[in-house]
Amino acid sequence: MSAVYAIVETGGKQYRVEKGQVITVERLQAEVGQEVELERVLAVAVDDGALQVGNPLVSGARARARVVEHGRAPKIVVFKYKSKVNYRRKAGHRQPYTRLLIEDIVTGAGT
């Protein structure tokens, strides 16, 4: 049986991924075009409708992905202000990200 979708965790966030999907995650240390494996799989749904939930991870399950690009998100302005005391601080931030193409979802040994 092949997996329909999986819930994976990377960068402290959880993503629902399917084969062929492009996702944007926190910056990963990998070159563009390199294959990465997302091994923190929390749940896997298979063709027959069964959902395999890990405790906390599904053993043996992983999602294979290829790095499409690296980039930086649009700038956000961080502005701190306190009234009546002439306190103002302004800073900008651009969050780095990595775009991944999900190539395959491998289910655990139990399926």
Answer whether residue 111 is part of any domain. Answer: no
Q: 26 is in which domain, residue-wise?
A: 3-106
Answer whether residue 11 is part of any domain. Answer: yes
pLDDT given for residue 46 in this prediction: 85
Record the pTM. 0.82
pLDDT in tens, 88-108: 999 999 999 999 999 999 886
Tell me the one-letter amino acid at 46. V
Question: What are the backbone angles phi and psi of residue 51, rounded to the nearest 5°?
Answer: -115, 120
pLDDT in tens, 24-70: 999 999 999 999 999 999 999 988 888 889 899 999 999 999 999 99
Answer whether residue 85 is part of any domain. Answer: yes
